[in-house]
Amino acid sequence: MMLYAKDISVSYGPKQVLHGLTLTAAPGTLTAIVGPNGSGKTTLMRALTGDVDFSGRITLGDTDIATAKPYDLAAQRAVLPQATPLAFPFQAVEVVRLGLRGGIETNDRLALTALSRVGLEGYANRFYQELSGGEQQRVQLARVLCQVWRPVVSGVPRWLFLDEPVSSLDIGHQLTVMQIARDFARAGGGVVAVMHDLNLSAMFAHQIVLMQSGRIIGHGTPAEVLTDAQVSRAYGCDIRTSTAPQDGGWFMLPQSAGNLEPMPVAQSA
C-alpha cells in the first residue's frame, strides 16, 4: 500500500505554500521530511493526512485521501501532530486509550503496554497536565501507536504520520522514539516523519525529502539527498556533510558557525 502524492499545491488565502509537489513513500520504510522553518514541511504533512485542503491527488493504497471517510482513514493510519493541547484533566492512560477503537472505556492492557514502550511505565494514573512537555509528547505517541499497534493487518500495511516527534525530547528519548518508528517500518508499516534534526534523519530514515520554499529540492536516500550543495542551498548557510569514522553514518556540521561575529556584551550602567 504505497503513499502517492502528485502535483500537490496548498494555499492559505492568497499565499501559496506548496507548489506542485510529487512524492512517493513505501511501506517498510521511514521517510523523513526535512527543511528550514517555513519550507512547508508541516503543511505537506497535513495534506498527506487530509487535514488541509489541497489540489492534486493523494492516495494511500487504493484510498483517495480527499474523499475518504475519517473513520476509514483512522483504521489505516495514525497521525501525531506537533502539539495536542487538552482542556480536561485526563490521566495519561485515558489519553492513550483514545487511540483504541473502544475509546476511553477500553481495557488498559494495550494502553499500558504502549506507555511502557515509550518509557512511561508507571505514569498511567498521572494527570496529563502535570507532565512535562516531553512526557506529554510521549503520551501522545503511545496514543497513536495504539491506533495502529499492528503494522500489518491481513497483509495490508498501516502508517504512522509523525510531525516533529522528537522536538521536546532529550537525546536518549529522541533515540527511543526514532527506534520505535524504525521498528514499525521494519515490521512492514510505513512511516512519514517531519524532522528538524538532520543527523537523526540521516541515522534512521530510509529516504529523505528535502524541502525549500514549498518545493521539494531533493528526494532519495540520505547519501543522495544530504549533499553539501543541496543542504547548504536549503538552509542558506555553508554546511558540510561527512561520515563518522566508527560506522560510516552521515552527520552535518554548519561550517559557517565559526565565522560568526561574537554577540556584543551589554555594559552595566
Q: What is the DSSP letter of 228?
A: H
Encode 57-96 in three state secondary structure. Answer: EEEECCEECCCCCHHHHHHHEEEECCCCCCCCCCEHHHHH
Percent of the chain beyond pLDDT 70?
Answer: 88
Confidence check: pLDDT of 95 > 60 = yes
Q: What is the mean pLDDT of residues 120-134?
A: 95
Which fold does the domain 3-259 belong to in CATH? Rossmann fold (3.40.50)
pTM: 0.89
pLDDT in tens, 53-66: 999 999 999 999 99
Which of the four pLDDT bands, split at 50, 70 and 90, describes residue 253? low
Instruction: Please state, in angstroms and as integers, the Cα–Cα distance from residue 44 to each residue in 10, 35, 53, 83, 107, following that order.
Output: 8, 12, 11, 16, 35
Query: In the block, which residue shows the cell 473513520?
Result: 71
Instruction: Please state, in angstroms and as integers, the Cα–Cα distance from residue 58 to each residue in 47, 91, 185, following that order.
Output: 8, 36, 20
**pLDDT (0 to 100) of residue 22:** 97
Q: Are 56 and 9 in contact (CB under 8 A)?
A: yes
Number of helices (H), then strands (E), belonging to the chain: the values are 9, 14
Q: What is the mean pLDDT of residues 5-20?
A: 97
Q: Are 52 and 40 in contact (CB under 8 A)?
A: no
Helix 108-117 vs helix 133-147: angle between axes, to the nearest 10 degrees? 130
Burial class (CB in 10 A: 0-12, 13-18, 19+), 69: exposed
Sign of CA dihedral 81, 213, 226, 23: positive
**pLDDT (0 to 100) of residue 118:** 97
Q: Are 87 and 95 in contact (CB under 8 A)?
A: no
Q: What is the mean pLDDT of residues 5-29?
A: 97
Which of the four pLDDT bands, split at 50, 70 and 90, describes residue 91? very high
For residues 252 and 154, the model is more confident at 154
Q: Are 232 and 238 in contact (CB under 8 A)?
A: yes
Q: Where are the alpha helices (H) located in the chain, listed in sequence order?
A: 41-48, 70-76, 92-97, 108-117, 133-147, 171-186, 198-204, 222-225, 228-235
